[in-house]
Amino acid sequence: MKKIFIIFITVLLMLWPVAAFAHGVDINYQTKTAVEIVAKFDTGQPVSGAQVIVYAPDNPTEPWVTGKADENGRYIFTPDPSKPGTWDVQVRLAGHGGVVHVPVGGDNTAASGSTGYGTIQIVVMSACVIWGFIGTALYFGRRKS
Amino acid sequence: MKKTVNLAAGIVLLLFLLAISGCNSGASDETGQQAQQSAQKTGTLQFIANGEDFVRQGFVSKDGWAITFDHVYVNLSDITAYQADPPYDAHAGGAVQAQNKAALAGTYTVDLALGDENADPILVGEVTDAVSGHYNAISWKMIRATEGPAEGYSMMIKGMAEKDGQTVDFTIKDEQEYLYTGGDYVGDERKGVLQEGGTANVEMTFHFDHIFGDAETPLEDELNTGAPGFKPFASIAKNGRVDVDMATLESMITQEDYQKLQAMLPTLGHVGEGHCNVEKL
């Protein structure tokens, strides 16, 4: 009987924290890169309330998202990083407008890819590294023999 | 034993180099094939000239003149659309960088006022074997016509203005030549995206409210403060008519009005609502 009581209390204590966290909040985070557009007229005045249309690089004809600039001509959107390339953002107000081109993701990869080494240079460098390993192996192999 | 090891190492190195070389050669072949396929994917690219509803339907100038147009001739040449990479920045100017272009040969005198008030913009011409892709830049020249109704001028505007019972028949001619270069079309729809076997269009847009102003736009708007309006032309009308080119106009209106007009004339060319870079030729 005493044993059953102890088990009961133990189970109760195990359940208690579950009840305590029933109204808890599960918070996760994910970092994303947002793009801020600020549109101004040539005079420096903000293009307040301008219509904004964002086109993703994989579909240049259909808007990816549309919105409105705030009173300071500012608009923020978060491009989908799985769609690398040039994102086009069109801003219009009362017959005035323009398009700004925002490079996203892929360009960075391309930039890091273009390190300035040519294909031949890379091949020669790789060959040198491999030969270094082989040479080292041969050196130690000779000492043993 | 030493020779055998060296020989083995040499073979390993040779195989490695061949492997890299082989991969590289495969990539080149692939790129070549893609380029060839891309070259084969073509469609029809149409070139449109649009004077907008201002020209087709008429409008009221900033100083209250109701203006309608009989003919608005622009003489266009060297019309070229580009798949610009990087995208063209009209503010920065310079030449368009593009691997694929589509160009209309010849010179075209286009009447932007052709048709009724609901007429479509004018089809100037088309290229039926344009490489598919996004034509995100366009350039064209507006040069003096050597024949036709606008002979001697790059632009000729004929119409009628009316205010408070007074009417003025006007002909305004511009002999200056221009090179316009614009980037992406700015408007309700996206233009210039040409699919294989499809048809797309690019547009040369002309904003005539830049000359006369627009009563439906606030007077303090830059558009209206910069526009000379119709009053300078009305003030030199004789017997209800005015027929001037820029050379004769300079001595007939105030320097302030003339300078405003000279500042606005190069800004007529647009891509939809997007501004173009302009050079006087």
Does B9 map to a domain? Answer: no
Q: A19 to chain B nearest CA, in Å?
A: 55
Is B220 contained in some domain?
Answer: yes
d(CA B190, nearest CA chain A) in Å: 6
Residue B13 falls inside a structural domain: no
Q: Where are the domains of chain A?
A: 30-114
Spatial CA neighbour of B38 closest among B86, B96, B83, B103: B83
Of A88, A127, A131, the CB nearest to B184: A88
Residue pairs spanning A and B at CB distance below 8 A: 66
Confidence of residue A109 (pLDDT cuts 50, 70, 90): very low
Of B13, B21, B274, the CB nearest to A98: B274
Q: ipTM score of the complex?
A: 0.74
For residue B1, which residues of chain A lie inside 8 Å, CB to CB?
145
**What are the structure tokens assigned to A87, written together?**
């994102």
CB of B132 within 8 A of CB of B196? yes
Over range A117-143, report the average pLDDT: 55
Dig out the tokens for B127 from the structure: 């290229």
Question: Residue B179: which of B259, B83, B76, B49 has the closest Cα?
Answer: B76
For residue B20, what pLDDT band results from cuts at 50, 70 and 90?
A: very low
- B22 part of a folded domain: no
Confidence of residue A122 (pLDDT cuts 50, 70, 90): very low
Higher pLDDT, residue B143 or A12: B143
Task: Give the CATH superfamily of A30-114.
Answer: Carboxypeptidase-like, regulatory domain (2.60.40.1120)
Number of domains in chain B: 1
| Chain B contact present for A136, CB below 8 A | no
pLDDT at B277 over 50: yes
pTM here is 0.74
**Has residue B6 got a pLDDT over 70?**
no
- Going from the C-alpha of A138 to that of each of A117, A132, B15, the distances in angstroms are 30, 10, 18
Q: Do A131 and B13 touch (CB under 8 A)?
A: yes
Q: How far apart are CA A143 and CA A145, in angstroms?
A: 6
Q: Residue A133: which pLDDT band, with cuts at 50, 70 and 90?
A: low
**pLDDT score at A94:** 80
pLDDT at position B191, please? Answer: 95
Q: Which of B5, B274, B275 sits opposite A138 (nearest CB)?
A: B5
The tokens for A28 are: 């996760």
